[in-house]
Structure 1
Amino acid sequence: MAQLNLHHLRLFRAVARDGTLTGAARTLNLSQSALSTQLRTLETTLGHDLFERRGRGLALTEAGRIALDHAEAIFRTADDLAATLAQAPGSRRVLRLGALSTLSRNFQIGFVASLVGRDDVELVLRSGTQADLLRGLQAMALDIVLTNLVPARDAASPYLVQALSEQPVSLVGPPRPDHAARSLAEILATEALILPTPESALRAAFDALVDRLGIVPRIAAEADDMAMLRLLARAYAGFAVLPPVVVKDELAAGLLVEHARLDGITERFVAVTLRRRFPNPLVAELLNRAHITEPLG
């Protein structure tokens, strides 16, 4: 294969983003014919058509979609390298953090608290699915990912996983006069419950618990988002199964009470990174601060 021309790759990316030769040529300040010629050269180099015509526009072929993914990764890496090497003492640094969309917002804010408000730091916070976040990490669009789902690892895995905290899980609900008198089994058997959705590890552990106790729970609501579990608990929709850190402000204010600890059930929070030649120093700073040996809360 002929050597890949990064200039052609940059032009290809512009056309893929615009969807038309005319618009991309205008943006690039090139003639449409010159742009078309250079795209054909790239296609010849790669040995595949990258676009197919759809009406008045251009759509990526399967090969084109693969090429665009790689092009984005290449240019993000180049930007990352330039920004990292250009950093000087006192310069403003950017930390790009991704968090699982269902993760506790309180935990996320607590993790980055030491960087919030600093004049020398810009925080870029994104949320998404585990798959999207890990793709962003590999493409270097993210520096670190926070999740409670530990990615599978083997000898070929690129991920570095650091445990941040293992949170206890409790039954949390509105204050009751008989708060201290009832056992866990009594609460589970009589109260409406707000539960994580069945596909979560936390729900699987809870289902195993009630099965051992011979209890059929009365489910008021299910949610896959810790923020939604928190809102449902605040609305007194039932007793929520969640880590107390998720509702720490409500517990401190007395709006909610931790009625029972679910012994043996925990929620694990981890940070996922990649080994990089030029790591973002803010990542190490956060991980060093967040090295926790005992559960929070």
Structure 2
Amino acid sequence: MGTLNYHHLRYFREVANEGHLGHAAARLNVSQSALSIQIRQLEDRLGHDLFDRVGRKLVLTEAGRIALDHSERIFGAGSELLAALRQSSTARPPLRVGALSTLSRNFQMQFLRPILASEGTPITLKSGNTHVLLKELESLGLDVVLTTELPPSGTKSHFAAQRIDEQMVGVHGPPARLNHPTLKTLLRSEPLILPTDSAVRTRFENLVTKMEITPHIIADVDDMAMVRLLAREGVGVAIAPAVVFADEIASGLLATAPFTLDISEPFYAVTLPRSFPHPALARLLRRET
């Protein structure tokens, strides 16, 4: 029995991910006819059709889904091999960090501080939603994902989620806006800046429901940096962990209301077990939880 042609498998993977022969051909810089021949040769080698044509799209058959799953693991192993070889060279690979877009930049700095002073450890930062970041972690495009959410159950990959911190959520804003006798009057009277973080948002909505108030939400924001800027501008008071406003609180520009919301936000570092993890990662995860 002949060996598998991995050149064909690479072409198949591109077509499967694009779902379109023309788009994949453009990405690979080959003609559609040449690409079609490569796919047909792989199908002949495997003895199964890998695609069904639905309109202009190519949809994976059951055999195609199995082939794609194996090809992702094969090329993922190749990427891991390259990363391992780069580690053995004199040039250090960058630590690739993904962070939930609503995650505090100050918290990200706290996480990275142990290696920021290290010479020769470049860092690549990427923000996005947890689903997209975990997909990139699976494909070895990231070394770690910082998030406030645990990976969903039932995923094929065996993610490891380490809780690295937990902070109380409070009400923060210009001191003049916080001058209220009770939490209820504060939340009822002042315009609110809320992050779209699902866990914090759900608990906050439960809180105001129990208080029987309808708050005036001036801004829904999916970026903590923007939450911070809006609070600095004084457009309202923000619901978030104090770490988001650490510099402004220290300078007196913003303050924290003297009321507790009884809401906490956990912070997780999510990794995927690898034979050759980034050498700087262990130092970042070696902390008290």
TM-score category, normalised to shorter length: 0.7 to 0.9
8 A Cα contact 2:86 2:92, kept in partner: no
Contact 2:178–2:257 (CA<8 Å) still a contact in 1? no
Q: Following TM superposition, by how much is the alpha carbon of 1:145 offset from its aligned partner in structure 2, in angstroms?
A: 0.8
Distance 2:237 2:174 in 1: 8
Q: Which residue of 1 aligns with 2:146?
A: 146
Q: What is the Cα deviation at residue 277 of structure 1?
A: 2.0
Equivalent residues in 2 for 1:70-85, closer than 5 Å: 71=71, 74-85=74-85
Higher mean C-alpha displacement, 109-118 vs 138-147: 109-118
Paired position in structure 1 for 2:40: 40
Structure 1 residue aligned with 2:18: none
Give me the identity figure in percent.
Answer: 43
Tell whether the 8 Å contact from 1:93 to 1:121 is kept in structure 2 after alignment.
yes
Change (3 A) 1:45 1:63: farther
Q: Which amino acid aligns with 2:181?
A: R
Q: How does 1:1-297 map to 2 (within 5 A)?
A: 4-12=4-12, 19-20=24-25, 24-25=29-30, 37-46=37-46, 47-50=48-51, 61-63=58-60, 71=71, 74-88=74-88, 90-116=90-116, 118-153=118-153, 158-176=158-176, 179=179, 182-197=181-196, 200-288=198-286, 291-293=287-289
Taking the aligned partners of 2:108 and 2:14, their CA distance within structure 1 comes to 35
Q: CA deviation at 1:253?
A: 2.0
Structure 2 runs not aligned, ≥5 long: 16-20
Query: 1:249-268 CA deviation, whole Å, 9 max, x = no partner?
Result: 21122211112343421111
Q: Tell me the distance in 2 between the aligned counterparts of 1:122 and 1:107.
A: 19
Inter-CA distance 34–61: structure 2 relative to 1 (3 Å threshold): closer
Residues 73, 140 of structure 1: 8 Å contact kept? no
Whole-angstrom distance in 2 between the partners of 1:137 and 1:155 = 13
8 A contact 2:163–2:268 mirrored in 1: yes
Give the CA RMSD over aligned residues. 3.5
Counterpart secondary structure, 1:127: strand
- Residues 110-157 of structure 1, C-alpha deviations (whole Å, 9 max, x = no match): 211233364322212112221111111122221111111112347976
Distance in 1 between residues matched to 2:100 and 2:140, nearest whole Å: 17
Question: Contact (CA 8 Å) 2:11, 2:35: kept in 1 or not?
Answer: yes
Provide the rounded CA distance (Å) in 2 between the counterparts of 1:200 and 1:142.
23
Distance 2:277 2:141 in 1: 13
Please tell me whether the aligned partners of residues 169 and 261 of structure 1 are also in contact (alpha carbons under 8 angstroms). no
CA distance in 1: counterparts of 2:281 and 2:269, whole angstroms: 10
CA distance in 2, matches of 1:86, 1:131: 28
Task: Provide the aligned length of Structure 1 versus Structure 2.
Answer: 280
Gapped regions of structure 1 (runs ≥ 5): 27-31
Q: Retained in 2: the 8 A contact 1:170–1:262?
A: yes
The answer (yes or no) to whether the contact 2:25–2:35 under 8 Å persists in 1 is no
| Matched residue, 1:29 | none
Deviation at 1:91, TM superposition (A): 3.7
Contact in 1 for aligned 2:51/2:60 (Cα 8 Å)? yes
Separation in 2, partners of 1:73, 1:60? 24
State the distance in 2 between where 1:48 and 1:155 align.
Answer: 27
Higher alpha-carbon deviation: 159-168 or 84-93: 84-93
The answer to whether the 8 A contact 1:50-1:60 is kept is no
Deviation, 1:86, is 4.8
**Cα separation, 2, equivalents of 1:216 and 1:182:** 18
